[in-house]
């Protein structure tokens, strides 16, 4: 029994040393495993964090002059309607900001155009200039309504852009062709367009794009100020003034006179507009009356009581031959092609 206390004392002296060694090696092993779990590739956490920082820095910067709330955008034109819809003129928007926002939404735009009978001759220039100026950098589907599908020209299209030919019947009178546009757009909005595009732009084929027309025009519902009436008082607007017509607008009502050759919005809103205009024209026909400016008269009636969320300046519909180029127009974006109306319509 006399040796046991010495052995016991020795064990007590070695035990703390063993515990210390186990703790040291155990900590190293755990640290290594945790590092592998966090960074399986074997890189350090600092390297990973540096990579993350680089990813953040690589995001495109939005560098542009700060807006100044005390400086008017333009003081020579009206830039907001009384219901706070913006009126789009050159100088009232930054297209770089808008392009980034609409690209984030992965927006697809449909452009409808009617090339019926002799009007098919305008289609090549329309499409070629659209490729140069219309929604550049965005996905676009051209919807060409025509009674002559074999005459639709082959125009080279950019990436993300395509052409769809929709065959429709023609009508004897050009007025009927014009009015049935509302019916066709309404029908295809419900049956097809809502599944393929986010916005619809509806234009005339006897026009050409001569400058930028981009996402600055897009909104739930937009109309364009008619180039012949943007300076006029409402009393002189060529609204339908006969109460018998569904397009009737009294002389003491009206905001602007909108052009029938360029309007649009979301597919849902365009469907509502075109369906309402078509139904109104059907009712007029049943009552033996035809609005003075056909579908344009009904468009103006609709936009009076269903306010557009954007209004485009006459930069977006212009006739330089008739109206020249006044200084107030910084750009002419969508302009009439010179033609003999009588020869084309007959």
Q: How far apart are CA 77 and CA 332, in angstroms?
A: 16
205 is known to lie in a ligand binding site: yes
289 is known to lie in a ligand binding site: no
Q: How far apart are CA 95 and CA 40, in angstroms?
A: 44
Tokens of 140: 């676009």
φ and ψ at residue 35, rounded to 5 degrees: -60, -40
Q: How far apart are CA 264 and CA 219, in angstroms?
A: 8
Q: How far apart are CA 89 and CA 85, in angstroms?
A: 13
319 is known to lie in a ligand binding site: yes
215 is known to lie in a ligand binding site: no
DSSP code string of 45-65: HHHHHHHHHHHHHTSPP---P
Q: How far apart are CA 79 and CA 85, in angstroms?
A: 8
185 is known to lie in a ligand binding site: no
Pairing verdict, β 262-266 and 221-224:
antiparallel
Nearest CA among 93, 58, 92 for reference residue 75? 92
Q: Is 126 in contact with 105 (CB distance < 8 Å)?
A: no
Total Cβ atoms within 10 A of residue 293: 19
Give catalytic residue positions.
296
Binding residues: 114-116, 119, 204-206, 226, 238, 296, 319
């Amino acid at each position: 029994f006399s040796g046991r206390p010495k052995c016991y004392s020795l064990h007590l002296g070695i035990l703390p040393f063993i515990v210390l060694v186990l703790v040291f090696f155990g900590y190293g092993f755990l640290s290594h495993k945790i590092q592998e779990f966090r960074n399986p590739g074997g890189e350090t956490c600092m390297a990973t964090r540096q990579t993350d920082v680089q990813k953040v820095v690589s995001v495109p910067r939005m560098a542009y002059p700060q807006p100044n709330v005390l400086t008017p955008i333009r003081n020579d034109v009206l830039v907001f309607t009384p219901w706070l819809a913006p009126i789009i003129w050159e100088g009232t928007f930054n297209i770089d900001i808008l392009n980034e926002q609409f690209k984030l939404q992965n927006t697809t735009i449909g452009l409808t155009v009617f090339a019926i009978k002799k009007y098919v001759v305008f289609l090549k220039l329309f499409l070629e200039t659209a490729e140069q100026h219309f929604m550049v950098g965005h996905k676009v589907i051209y919807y060409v309504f025509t009674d002559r599908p074999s005459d639709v020209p082959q125009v080279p299209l950019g990436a993300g852009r395509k052409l769809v030919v929709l065959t429709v019947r023609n009508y004897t009178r050009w007025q009927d062709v014009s009015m049935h546009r509302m019916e066709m757009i309404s029908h295809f909005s419900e049956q097809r367009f809502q599944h393929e595009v986010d916005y619809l732009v509806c234009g005339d084929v006897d026009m050409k794009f001569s400058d930028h027309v981009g996402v600055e025009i897009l909104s739930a519902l937009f109309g364009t100020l008619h180039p012949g009436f943007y300076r006029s008082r409402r009393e002189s607007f060529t609204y339908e003034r006969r109460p018998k017509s569904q397009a009737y607008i009294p002389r003491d009502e009206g905001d602007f006179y909108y052009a029938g050759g360029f309007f649009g919005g979301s597919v849902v809103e365009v469907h509502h507009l075109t369906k309402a205009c078509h139904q109104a024209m059907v009712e007029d026909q049943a009552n033996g009356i035809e609005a003075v400016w056909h579908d344009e008269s009904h468009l103006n009636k609709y936009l009076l009581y269903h306010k557009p969320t954007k209004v485009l300046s006459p930069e977006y519909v212009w006739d330089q031959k008739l109206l020249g180029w006044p200084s107030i127009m910084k750009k002419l974006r969508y302009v009439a092609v010179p033609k003999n109306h009588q020869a084309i319509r007959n």
